Each structure stands twice: as structure tokens, then as C-alpha cells.
A and B are shown apart, each in its own frame.
Chain A
Amino acid sequence: MRFTPIAVLTPAAVLAVTLTAHPATAQTAAAKIPPPTAADWAALAKLPDFGGVWEVGGGGGRGRGAAQGPALTPAAAAKRKELQSLGREDNQTANCVPPGMPGIMGQPYPMEFLLTPGKVTIVIEAYTQVRHIYTDGRPLPEDPDLKFHGTSVGRWEGNALVVDTIGFSPLTELAANVPHSDKMRIRERFTLTGPDTMSIETAVTDPGILTAPYTTTRTLQRHRSWTIAEYVCQENNRNFVDEKGKAGIRLDDPAGTTRK
């Protein structure tokens, strides 16, 4: 007869169970997502070919449609005027703080799309950033934590990947000198427009800030031979912006890249 251990609930065991109750609950919730099957992996082959490394044409930027700028409510327009009057020369990206959404999608650096069952991951070279887009049918959270890239869910509509994102950090900007509210929502439509071209239509809505969706379109070019390079902004960042918005450059210490 095989020895069957019988649980003896010592005080220590009870304590251990009590202490692990919360992680155990969380694990139970996560376990509701079934593991991907071979069929799930095979189904990826039927999706549009987003693979490889893509770069925003024209060296990045805000995209077509940005020239007119966002249509602001009177209050938001007044706020922008107030911020502009401060004469800030730069923003926190000079101090290596990533721009977050939507600015991170217009950088002059490439990005790579990874498709796995239930998820699209965008590896963004600039500032070494990652966007996680869940395509497993989950809803957007009711009360998301505020993040630089928000929280994203996506779905495939024909050949397009449609992504909805909410919950943005107050440290990100809707556009230059336009702070967003906690109601900002971004819908992106990613579509292959040629063998190696992709279009990203971005529509930003934010009641109280915008009187109409702020819609821009970027075109990306695929470079199959490229790889994503390292980008550690703190490696040798000599730029800075101070608390008053004054931009500067540190020219001292020419040996600054050597570990001391």
C-alpha cells in the first residue's frame, strides 16, 4: 500500500495557507485563460502578416492630419495657451522619460509586431518600450491603473487590427501642451496597404478636451532584414530640461560613458 500523506494542520501550516490565500486566488483567476492549443498557434498563420520590423516613414512625427491640430474645447484651448505662454523649451523626454501614448507611436525608430495566441505585442525601439494588446476577447477594465501606454485590447476586423486603449498616465500628453483627461480613449486601426507598407489610423477622443476626434494617419515601411536595436536613453544622455522648462546640454566629462 502506497503511503498517503495526510495533511496535519499544524499552526505553521495554517499560517502558510492564510498568507498565501491572496496569491492563490489570483492564480485561480489567471488559470481561467486556457493554454493555447496547436490550433491556436496554427490560426495565427491566417492573420495578416504583421511580422518583421517597421519604421514610420518620413522619420517619425505626428502623422498626416496632425497639421490642423486637435479640435479643442474652449477650456482646453485656454489651458494650451497658458502652457504655451510659459515658454517651455522642451519636455521630459529630454530627461529620458518616455512619451507614452500616443507620442510613442511616432518616433523615428522602428517597432516590431509579435503575434501570439490572444495577443499582439509591439516592441518599440525608442526608449525600449513595449505595448501589450490583448486579442483574446477580454473587455477593457472598468477602472484601469493609469499607464504611459494605457491598457489595450484589440480585435481582428477582416485584415485590420483594431485596438482600443484607455487609462493613460497624467504624465503623457494628448498633443503638445494639451493634457488629456481620464476619459481619453484611443482607437487605432492597423492595416497592411502593400507588401511592406502598413497604415495606422489613430483616432483620439476625449470629451471635455476635444470637440471632435483627433485623427491622424501614419505610414510604416517594413524592413525585413532589420533587427530592433538597443536604446538605453540613460546610457549617455547629455540633454536635460529643468523644472522651469529650460533646455540644456551637459558638455562636461567627455569620459562620461566609461564606468567608474
Chain B
Amino acid sequence: MRSLTLALIAVALLAAGSHEAAAHHSFAPFNLEAEKTISGTIKKFDWTNPHTWIWVDVTGDNGKVETWGIEGMSPNYLGRRGWSKNSLKPGDKVSIVIRPMRDGSPGGMFVRATLADGRELRQSGQAVD
């Protein structure tokens, strides 16, 4: 049942995100069946093409800080859906749900983020005029 649910999520994700694959690259490096939540502090937010990159400093159990790189959709795409270059700022405390890298390296594909003030960021949604 759980695997069916995950499969359905993956299918829905592919349906929702297939345009991104059409746009620039495939999902192959990401594990679409896995979901991981990372919490930390925004180090840098790249409002750049072909993808936005959120760099998050995450403190591990051993006290060491590791920087995670989270790939999001392009500023062109997100900018028409309510985001701006100021949506995330260095120092912001954030919790981000990602599809992690298959190879286990500290990175993944953005799913959604929740900020300390409760603000939630998503990539989907209707384009706004």
C-alpha cells in the first residue's frame, strides 16, 4: 500500500513536473520515490537560470555544518507564480521538503519550504498576470 502511494505520488509529481523535464533536464539524478525534510539556515539563494538554487546550512547530529543544494524551477517560471529573488534571504530559518539525490550527496529537488514565520513556498500553481 505504501509503495502504491509512493508510486502515485511519483506519477503525480511527474505529471505536474514533466514540463520541467521538457524544459531542461531529466529527473534521473533525483530519487522521486523518496521524500526528505531538511532544516537549517539559508546561506544563499541563486535567483538564476536555468534553475534557482537554495543553499542551506544544515547542522548534523555531530555538530558539523553541511551545505545542501536544492534545485528549484527557474526564476522565469517562479516569478510568474508569486516568487521573487527576495522570497528567501540569507539567515532565514527554513524547513524544506525535497526529493533527495540518488547518490546520497547533500542535495535534491525542491518540493516545498516552510519558513520560521509560517510562510510556505510552493512551485506549483496558476501563473499570475
Are B25 and A94 in contact, with the CB atoms below 8 A?
Answer: yes
Per-residue CB contact flags for chain B residues 75-106 toward chain A (1 = under 8 Å, else 0) read 11101100000000000000000000100011
Are A230 and B49 in contact, with the CB atoms below 8 A?
Answer: yes
Residues of B within 8 A of A94 (CB): 24-26
Per the 8 Å Cβ criterion, residues 18-65 of B in contact with A are: 18-20, 22-26, 28-29, 43-44, 46, 48-51, 53, 55
Are A236 and B53 in contact, with the CB atoms below 8 A?
Answer: yes
Question: When the two chains form the complex, which single residue of B19, B29, B55, B75 contacts A229, counting CB atoms closer than 8 Å?
Answer: B75
Are A109 and B25 in contact, with the CB atoms below 8 A?
Answer: no
CB proximity of A69 to chain B, nearest CB, Å: 15
CB proximity of A137 to chain B, nearest CB, Å: 35
A-side binding surface: helix, strand, loop or mixed? loop
Known: A226-B80, A238-B53, A254-B69. A58 touches B19 (CB 8 A): yes
CB proximity of B23 to chain A, nearest CB, Å: 5
Are A257 and B48 in contact, with the CB atoms below 8 A?
Answer: yes
Question: When the two chains form the complex, which single residue of A89, A106, A223, A255 contacts B127, counting CB atoms closer than 8 Å?
Answer: A223
Q: Count B interface residues, CB 8 Å.
A: 35
Are B23 and A254 in contact, with the CB atoms below 8 A?
Answer: no
Q: Count A interface residues, CB 8 Å.
A: 41
Residues of B within 8 A of A239 (CB): 24-25, 29, 50-51
Residues of A within 8 A of B22 (CB): 60-62, 103, 106-108
Can you name 20 A-B residue pairings with CB atoms under 8 Å?
Answer: A58-B19, A61-B18, A61-B22, A89-B26, A107-B22, A109-B76, A125-B76, A226-B80, A226-B129, A229-B76, A233-B24, A236-B48, A236-B49, A236-B50, A238-B71, A247-B29, A251-B101, A251-B107, A254-B43, A257-B46
